[in-house]
Structure 1
């Protein structure tokens, strides 16, 4: 995210501009108004008497609306401007803009106001990779507006600009006006998108699975009470960002899901949606409800090499742009992820623990059984008991199908790429946890004790073999992966934190992992590096080989807390939350991996998404960890242990089993450490 960048988003649409509100055409820069992976406005520049305006200030009013205060340039500090401009912009299945010109002089002023526009209809991947278009661009002027369009075969996208009263050319719209002293002049411009010829997309009404307004969304979340003011702001920002990232990827559905992040990943990602649903369960469990159902309905049913699909597999990514439509990228949905399927089972179990929604667990039993079959039959490529991955689509499929899915993230200690297929350690941990959790569902809710017993045996067998094959006794940690020759990849990475989270680590090995996660090789002072320092592949600015990802650090903290290492977990939590203090209380997708003592303030990874879903969910996961919130057989266990410097932490109205519960820590705590659900305000869960 650039320092001068302003973005707004709602549902399937978002707008990225500079602090003047200008959308400036530039290669590999995601400025523009986007809808469902296509840039519908690539240029939108305001001119007053032919000159670009200067910014006074700009601020988001809400996640979907922004106001810019601008002034006419005079060219000298000795002359004040005669005109100022307020530019108010919103986004909703398009863009609307209200522009007001103010005359603060004692004379009448004539002026000309123009907007220069363009639409390149670039796919988001074409923006990122600087690719050229192959289809046909067209324009059609009409009374009070103009339509900009693009067609390639059966793929059509249009931008409809309505500007009543303007003089319109194929690249600009212009107003001429004279203002009396002290008067204002205002015009409204509407930009709507179309996915077929001559038909604009209607703005979607609010849907029943979500709160009707942002106030409802905020009011339905638990109330945080703490003596640390920055944490209050971080929590509020996280709630707003998750609300903003909700979108509707399936046109016939009424269910919204969390998109992964703005600008590059405003799409459904199975891994991201599942993890952020897990993070948000005590706060907004309806995210998990919609995510689980939507992913189950689109679970793979047959093998498709182009999509890396096999029966029972949970999708990785859903794209709606031109490149996916024509197969230049894997056609949607794409299934190239080896971790989404066990994560689906983990979240299904965790969802029931928090909500008591047995009906959903029973309705999704076929999907869960298919996911289990995928673990055994398709995920294990060579039948050695481990989940491996290797794309069957070498032209456009993902090389790495774990959460660190950049091409160079799985490297040996000498910096060379690991041979395919690869079995990364954290996926084995997920598979272990998924089997144990699904065994409970099978026994308690599907009444299939035979399946439960088999899953428990399989989990125990995986536990034993994993702790033999992946453990590096001389190094004192687990291998990142087994490569295609079953050779351990001995690189030290943050994946060991995920192993603690999954519970696959024997208690006697926790001390060694805790020391590494909180030691100088991995801990920057802001969070845990994805790859430890002083290794050949380490780079503090490499996407997965040295950066700090907030969700990754939060998972490590939760893993440490699982094994009772609350002091170390709190150290990671406080470091990450303190970073939010310097970042307008919003955690981005990733931070640079520089040591805190060198940087003093956290440095952003250059192209980090912001907002980003599982980064927004990370503070929620940390709050849960610090309060020791754990669902246990219909009872909410609250065992707070607060970090030094945090005297009071409480959540009022925790969402649990269709009611509300209190979680109190520090000076807010009472003698009770186990609280049963208490009646609360209106729930927003879909039955």
Structure 2
């Protein structure tokens, strides 16, 4: 209508797209294999969209799609039919098999056209191509870039150039037509029972990219799992394949500084929290990834106070981009430190890697960063001095919420009202308690002073938390989500409290109360652990953080329950997560709907969820660890194994755990008997 405002741009949906990935490069297409200049589709490289259009045509028309099959994270095969070439045949006689392969910095396709017809078939095959080099944040905001015009670059070659970036395409034997919509064209003739194979490739050159592919193979060898429930092995295999494809390093970083990029497509970069949690979950596969992640983040550890970036001395960063990252009301600097938990998680990862057998000289080399991180906890984490770790976006252009539930409306009271910052999150106090004790253990072990101070800090934190966070309400007695600016407990029942389990901060009675609530129908009535109870007023099964189910969150709580000795509750949530994995074809997304099982026969996709996503993929390893109950203490000379008493996977054999650098096999028999082989000398097994 005249004068009517344009509708607001919205983040494009992802749930029905097919991703093919080799970080830092990703192709996102429809299920038909076509990349159209719409939504989040495109070939992306290092935070820019290199190709915004890749459309396969036969005789100027799109073949009808039949199937899409993922062949590992980096290869996808699409089958389609140009049925107008079938003549009078009832059955399809001409088919198109299109295989897409993504490599770091490039993509290639082979297009095989085969004919089962008894007569010759003549056609023209073409690929339409477009490029806008749109920044990823613009695409995330639901906007496109301006189409660039391709230039001819030789026989079968096209090129686009802008902002110092070059995208080159080559189609051997093709006729290349430049322009805003460029084309590669091949005329073909197929005799009876013949086939022809065409190919083309794209390559991106981006000297300003801050992310690059690591050299060499993955830092881990795959676990081999044999379980009565075969779904566990399928989930693990696909997840580890995705994790290999998500490996990244900073451009120009020293060798070995490998970490896992957070997720496709929006977060394929360094994220402190995500990369740390992923590395922590992956410790059963070795300590090399943990070391690379720790070193990468230590290189960028804060050294000054800067309200614009959120930096402070000793603080671990949140996110790294090539420049200003503008999404919605947020304007995040390229190196942004607006996270309240990454520094604590860094300390805990270093401690856990040491316990899994990270070489002592490597641990010792990171002790200055450890002491700086503890310095941040002492001097900057509690600005008002009330003894709790809290955050507020002082700049006003950063993230309003700086825990893992970082959406603007995540902090809700039971009545649905929103909490005002500064916010002190429940789980962050647990991370701080754990970091203080873990930091003390490392300081003592390596002869550094200060351990007594941090053990006293942890004991005092536990008492303060007990006095201020526990609430009585409609759900019973439980820890609040947070304290708000007025120090009022935010009394909704949320998954955050599950992260307190296994830290040692809760008493046995408190652990039992939390565990019981986490598997109550309001929290666990869907296909995993809801982020907020269905009994709270703000609950919405498709809310980002107020009712959805996050894969990593459920897996962390599964493991925490197991470590806290709550096997029944841990097994219940593990089974739910495995049910969801089966329904998502064993590639668990970032999050999905928290609908009740009684109303939804399968999980409802959250339409903007990243997939694959780092800590969602690493959740598979977390399930294996929880099922075995494996807790190494290499410095102490022991490995504890306490299988879940109600193991959801049946008898289980895991081959290829890495403890102190050695390959270790563990079998859990029917009835819980444990067999362990391959432990290095000096380590004993304890099975309490």
Question: TM-score, normalized by length of structure 2?
Answer: 0.90
Higher mean C-alpha deviation, range 598-607 or range 89-98: 598-607
Task: Give the conservation status (yes or no) of the 8 Å contact 1:635–1:675.
Answer: no
Which deviates more, 297-306 or 365-374? 297-306
Match of 2:78 in 1: 68
> CA shift at 1:502, angstroms?
2.4
Where do residues 656-667 of structure 1 align in structure 2 (5 Å cutoff)?
656-667=659-670
* Alignment partners' CA distance in 1, 2:214 and 2:344: 32
Deviation at 1:444, TM superposition (A): 0.6
CA contact (8 A) 1:648 1:667 kept: yes
The 8 Å contact of residues 214 and 258 in structure 2, kept in 1 or not, is answered as: no
Which residue of 1 is the match for residue 67 of structure 2?
Answer: 57
Distance 1:343 1:671 in 2: 31
Q: After superposition, what is the alpha-carbon deviation per residue over 1:651-686, rounded to whole angstroms, capped at 9, x for unaligned?
A: 2232101212232213396566x877148xxxxxxx
**Which residue in 2 is equivalent to 1:382?**
384
286-295 or 163-172, larger mean C-alpha shift: 163-172
Q: 1:566 corresponds to which residue?
A: 567
Cα pair 1:11 1:248 within 8 Å, conserved: no
Name the CA shift for 1:303/1:554 in 2 (closer, same or farther; >3 Å): same
Superimposed CA distance per residue, residues 192-216 of structure 1 (whole angstroms, 9 cap, x where no aligned partner): 112259xxx9x988624736xxxxx
Q: Is the 8 A contact 2:97 2:112 kept in 1?
A: yes
Other-structure match for 1:222: 223
Distance between the aligned counterparts of 2:43 and 2:252, measured in 1?
20
- Determine which of 158, 161, 165 is the counterpart of 2:173: 165
Structure 1 residue 276: Cα displacement: 1.0
Given that 1:103 and 1:184 are in contact with CA atoms closer than 8 Å, whether structure 2 keeps it comes out as yes
Query: Partners of 1:509 and 1:233 in 2: how far apart?
Result: 36
Partner of 1:177: 188
Encode CA deviations 1:120-170: one digit per residue, 9 max, x unaligned. Answer: 11112111212465x89454222121211333xxxx323111124333131
Q: Which residue of 2 aligns with 1:682?
A: none
CA spacing shift, 1:601–1:132, aligned 2, 3 Å: closer
Q: 2:679 aligns with which of 665, 677, 680?
A: 677
Counterpart Cα distance in 1 of 2:549 and 2:295: 31
Q: Which runs of no fewer than 5 residues in structure 1 stay unpaired? A: 212-216, 680-687
Q: How many Å apart are 1:429 and its aligned residue?
A: 0.6
CA distance in 2 between partners of 1:463 and 1:473 (Å): 19
1:17 aligned residue:
29
Give the deviation of 1:622 after TM superposition.
Answer: 2.0
Which runs of 5 or more residues in structure 2 are unaligned?
1-12, 682-688
Q: Aligned with 1:599: secondary structure?
A: coil
Going from structure 1 to structure 2, the CA distance change for 1:387 and 1:250 (only over 3 Å counts) comes to farther
Q: How does 1:190-205 map to 2 (within 5 A)?
A: 190-195=201-206
What is aligned with 1:534? 535
Distance between the aligned counterparts of 1:306 and 1:132, measured in 2? 28
Give the C-alpha shift of residue 186 in structure 1: 2.4
Secondary structure at the counterpart of residue 532 of structure 2: coil
Distance 1:252 1:644 in 2: 42
- Are positions 1:34 and 2:33 aligned together? no
Kept after mapping to 2: 8 A contact 1:627/1:639: yes
| More off after superposition, 359-368 vs 385-394 | 385-394
Say if 1:74 and 1:80, in contact at 8 Å, map to a contact too: no
Partner residue of 2:351 out of 349, 352, 366 = 349
Count of matched residue positions in the alignment of Structure 1 and Structure 2: 656
State the partner residue of 1:83. Answer: 94
Structure 1 residues 560-592: Cα deviation after superposition (integer angstroms, max 9, x where no partner): 223221111111112211221222122221121
Instruction: After TM superposition, give the deviation of residue 364 of structure 1 in Å.
Output: 0.6
* Contact 1:353–1:634 (8 Å) recurs in 2: no
After superposition, the Cα gap between the structure-2 partners of 1:196 and 1:146, relative to the gap in structure 1 and judged at 3 Å, is farther
Partner of residue 634 from structure 1, selected from 632, 637, 657: 637
- Determine the structure 2 residue equivalent to 1:408: 409
Flag the 1:528–1:193 CA change in 2: closer, same or farther, 3 A: same
Contact in 2 for aligned 1:123/1:322 (Cα 8 Å): no
Residue 314 to residue 206, structure 1, CA distance change in 2 (3 Å): closer
1:462 corresponding residue in structure 2: 461
Instruction: After superposing the two structures, state which structure 1 stretch, 45-54 or 221-230, moved more.
Output: 221-230
Change in Cα spacing, 1:671 to 1:87, as seen in structure 2 (3 Å) is: closer
SS of the residue 1:569 aligns to: helix
Q: Deviations over 1:42-101 (max 9, x none)?
A: 111011111101122221222111222222132999655553222121111111112222
Identify which of 2, 12, 20 aligns with 1:8: 20
Match of 2:278 in 1: 276
| CA–CA separation in structure 1 for the residues paired with 2:555 and 2:330 | 36
Matched residue, 1:476:
477
Between the aligned partners of 1:433 and 1:159, the Cα distance in structure 2 is 48
C-alpha distance in 1 between matches for 2:462 and 2:658 = 33
Question: Within the alignment, does 1:579 sit opposite 2:590 as a pair?
Answer: no
After superposition, give the CA deviation of every residue in 1:242-273 in whole Å (9 maximum; x if it has no partner).
11211233344433321111122212111111
- Residues of 2 paired with 1:225 and 1:352: CA distance? 28
Shift of 1:323: 4.1
In the TM superposition, what whole-angstrom CA distance separates every residue of 1:343-391 from its partner, at most 9, and x where no partner exists?
Answer: 0000000000002421121101111111111111111121222111111
Question: Is 2:581–2:587's contact at 8 Å kept on the other side of the alignment?
Answer: yes
Query: What is the alpha-carbon distance in structure 1 between the residues aligned to residue 276 and residue 671 of structure 2?
Result: 32
Deviation readout 1:467-489 (Å, 9 max, x if unpaired):
11111145411111111121211
Compute the TM-score of the two structures, normalised by the length of structure 1. 0.90
Instruction: Name 2:269's counterpart in structure 1.
Output: 267
Q: Identify the range of structure 1 (82-91 vs 418-427) with the bigger mean alpha-carbon deviation.
A: 82-91
- Distance in structure 2 (CA, Å) of the matches to 1:556 and 1:323: 32
> Relative to 1, partners in 2 of residues 1:204 and 1:424: Cα closer, same or farther, differing over 3 Å?
closer
Distance 2:472 2:121 in 1: 80
Distance 1:196 1:58 in 2: 34
Q: For structure 1, which segment, 405-414 or 107-116, has the greater mean C-alpha deviation from structure 2 after superposition?
A: 107-116
Where 2:527 maps in the other structure, the secondary structure is coil
Q: How far apart, CA to CA, are the structure 1 residues paired with 2:343 and 2:389?
A: 11
Structure-2 separation of matches of 1:437 and 1:54: 58
Q: How does 1:420-499 map to 2 (within 5 A)?
A: 420-445=421-446, 447-448=447-448, 450-473=449-472, 475-499=476-500
Deviations 1:186-238 (A, max 9, x none): 222111112259xxx9x988624736xxxxx5xx2332121111111112122
Q: 2:132 aligns with which of 116, 120, 126?
A: 120
Cα distance change, pair 511–599 in 1 and its aligned pair in 2 (3 A): same
Whole-Å Cα distance in 2 between the matches of residues 81 and 412 of structure 1?
A: 59
How far, CA to CA, are the matches of 1:74 and 1:80 in structure 2? 12
- Say if 1:507 and 1:341 are closer, same or farther in 2 by CA, change over 3 A: same
8 Å CA contact retained: 1:20, 1:70: yes
Aligned to 2:338: 336
RMSD: 2.5
Q: Flag the 1:347–1:644 CA change in 2: closer, same or farther, 3 A.
A: closer
